[in-house]
Amino acid sequence: MVEKSGGYVIHEGCDHIFFVGFLGAGKSTLARNLGRLFHRGYVDVDRMVERSVGKTVCEIFSEEGEASFRRYEARELRKLAQRKSLLVSCGGGIVEGEESCALMHRMGSIVFLDGALSDSLRQIQHPELRPDFVDEACASRLYRLRRPLYERECDLRIDIRDKTFEQVAADSARVLGDDHPHTLTSRNNLAHAYQAAGRHHEAINLFKDTLKVCEDTLSPGHPLTTTVRENLETLEREMNPAPASFPESSEE
């Protein structure tokens, strides 16, 4: 079930975390290791496609074309609706599929591992296995095309530049804990409840605290950050109404 609250979507039935990012960003390694650490299941969408189609990603691209691969990706994502709390490693191009983006939003949170193109190129050990990696010029064109898509679609962006695997894992672990957008939504709702119950100081403190975590952890301009800020400002205005302005007294 998907419920709207304060302009933000709460995912009740399905709470997967989808890792997206440019090729070589370390999505699979991270999702697999976090899965072990947090005892959550882990799946890789590329591998799911390969198993169900019975061809490698490269064969699908060369025999059927990219559009067909994007349809398979969406088909595999749809299957995840029956499952709970998975860490999902997605192929680098998944954000180009409109249906896949809608499915990921409906089923959980999207985490963008944001790295430099140069780092990605260094980490790619088997370019021959990557159909989209024809040459460096092609990779950098794809990077320019996709980076805004990752930014637009993500709930949380993690800057992986100059970070060790442990640091990235620690940052990513936040989405599994207290700073997860769903938890932030719950805090925003709780602050509302305080406000409705007349517990204004508790509401203000909770809105302030939630806003700080939103600003620190969510992608810039995230709708939840805007909602929490507006809630805080409205409550502050209600509690401290601007003094009525009087017309300037004129000299007699």
Q: Give me the residue whose beta carbon is nearest to ligand S3P.
A: 91
Cα gap 48→124, rounded to integer Å: 21
- Our finding on whether 115 is near ligand S3P (CB under 6 A) is no
- Our finding on whether 50 is near ligand S3P (CB under 6 A) is no
Closest separation between CB of residue 93 and ligand S3P, Å? 3
23, 111, 191, 235: which one binds ligand S3P (CB under 6 A): 23
- Asked whether the beta carbons of 225 and 211 are under 8 A apart, the reply is yes
- Our finding on whether 132 is near ligand S3P (CB under 6 A) is yes
Closest separation between CB of residue 168 and ligand S3P, Å? 16
40, 47, 55, 130: which one binds ligand S3P (CB under 6 A): 130
Closer to ligand S3P at the Cβ: 93 or 181?
A: 93
35, 46, 204, 225: which one binds ligand S3P (CB under 6 A): 46
Closer to ligand S3P at the Cβ: 8 or 72?
A: 72
Q: Which of 102, 92, 47 is nearest to 72 (CA)?
A: 47
How many amino acids of this chain bind ligand S3P (CB under 6 A)? 9
Region of 90-98, 191-199, 224-232, 235-243 interacting with ligand S3P (CB under 6 A): 90-98
Closer to ligand S3P at the Cβ: 127 or 223?
A: 127
- Our finding on whether 93 is near ligand S3P (CB under 6 A) is yes
- Our finding on whether 91 is near ligand S3P (CB under 6 A) is yes
Q: Which residues bind ligand S3P (CB under 6 A)?
A: 23, 46, 57, 91-93, 130-132
